[in-house]
Amino acid sequence: MEKVQQLNIGLIGAGVVGRGVVRNLARNTDLIAERLGVRLNLKWVCDKDKSRLKNLPVPASVLVRDAKVVLDDPNVPVIVELLGGTSFARTVLLDALNRGKVVVTANKALLAHHGEEIFAAAARNSANVFYEASVCGGIPIIKALREGFVANRFPLIYGIVNGTCNYILSRMTAEGKDFDEVLAEAQKLGYAEADPSLDVDGGDSAHKATILASLAHGFWTGLENTYVEGIRHVTKYDIEIASELGYAVKLLAIIKTADASDSAPIEVRVHPTLIPRDHVLASVGGAFNGVVVRGDVVGETMFYGRGAGADATSSAVIADLADAALNLKCGSVQRVPAFVAHRLNARVRTIDDVESRYYLRLTVEDWPGVIAKVAKVLGDADISIASVLQREAPESKPGHPPSDHVPLIFMLHVAKDRAVRDAVAEIDRLPVVKDKTIIIRVENFD
């Protein structure tokens, strides 16, 4: 029987995910060793916050508060960085790579902001970075793109990559509640942070979209080139009307090319999207994630599961540790490189040039001729109208006079984003329009 080797690991950052890694490694350490022929040994667990180091299933002798102790240990070839943030975490990660250590990280913000520098450091030092846990928690989407679909180009990747937003939109849909009410409940239940901006304004999804786009297309697309729009402006009324029209509203990350050639520009965008109610992603509810990958060889595949949480994310971290252990065991640290830059002349298409269909909700005075005025602006911009839906004025609040403003919904055919936004800006200047028009893009992914 093959002798089981031991791999020493230094874990830096004992927050929710870090504690999950420690707990789940302790629980399944024998099982993992049987499967790998390598025992994953936590030699160090580090956090500057002493309270986070309490009640962990490891000997007290492995607990330290100074990351330098972990990094300086020549007998620790693998560092797990679970600090969060982009400052000290970047210092730790680059320090580890410059020493030739392997790094496992769940830090999506760090990779989105500094991925190009980090992957270059890994290549320069013949080290490696594993980052499965940075996108969609326990869903193995990184490994699939990097290894399972190596024979494919990717004309389309799209999905729900933020559980908080999906929970909020799912509750709004199921219960007819307003955004603010559901957000407050999500915060009480721990599904949303006290400051929810990173989630509800789309930043978290943009980090993940940037990582996926860069990995799938072989060049660093850049966070600054990812178009981002959150869900604060989506109302229960929009969700209700969308449902009447046969759609569900989801916050999607969309990575798309016009064709499968290496010269085609890439779209990387995050925004609320109307998708057909019978689409598989429309049924992804609560805090779950779902990602669809279309490969030019494999066709369409879907990944579904928990996108966050201590257990789901720690499962991905431990899977990366297993890959690192097998690489080191076989003497091939960079068997699968962290990132391969193979498209040197590629570019990202700006949102101005993106083409989509659109849902517009206007608030207008209830006068004859209003539809004609709006239609003229759209027609002058060569934007084709698919359908128009007019509703009675919504019920006014108690003690207020009846409203003479009514919602007016336009569904548009395919048009360029810039043309639609310019037309809407002109529409909003019409005297009959009484509030800012809501724009939601529409996709069916045919």
Domain ranges of the chain: 5-141+310-329, 150-306, 351-442
- Same fold across 5-141+310-329 and 150-306: no
DSSP string computed for 32-49: HHHHHSEEEEEEEEE-S-
In this structure, the number of other CB atoms found within 10 A of the CB of residue 304 comes to: 18
Active-site annotation, residues: 208
CATH topology for the 150-306 domain: Dihydrodipicolinate Reductase; domain 2 (3.30.360)
For 58-93, letters b (16+ CB in 10 Å) and e give beeebbbeebeebbeeeebbbbbbbbbeeeebbebb
CATH architecture of structural domain 5-141+310-329: 3-Layer(aba) Sandwich (3.40)
Q: Which of 82, 84, 125, 120 is nearest to 102 (CA)?
A: 125
C-beta separation of 35 from 3 below 8 A: no
CATH topology for the 351-442 domain: Alpha-Beta Plaits (3.30.70)
C-beta separation of 221 from 214 below 8 A: yes
Tens digits of pLDDT across the chain (446 residues): 457 799 999 999 999 999 999 999 999 999 999 999 999 999 999 999 999 999 999 999 999 999 999 999 999 999 999 999 999 999 999 999 999 999 999 999 999 999 999 999 999 999 999 999 999 998 999 999 999 999 999 999 999 999 999 999 999 999 999 999 999 999 998 889 999 999 999 999 999 999 999 999 999 999 999 999 999 999 999 999 999 999 999 999 999 997 766 778 999 999 999 999 999 999 999 999 999 999 999 999 999 999 888 999 999 999 999 999 999 999 988 888 899 988 877 899 999 999 999 999 999 998 889 999 999 999 999 999 999 998 776 555 544 445 678 999 999 999 999 999 999 999 999 999 999 999 999 999 98
Q: Which helix (H) or strand (E) holds 66?
A: none
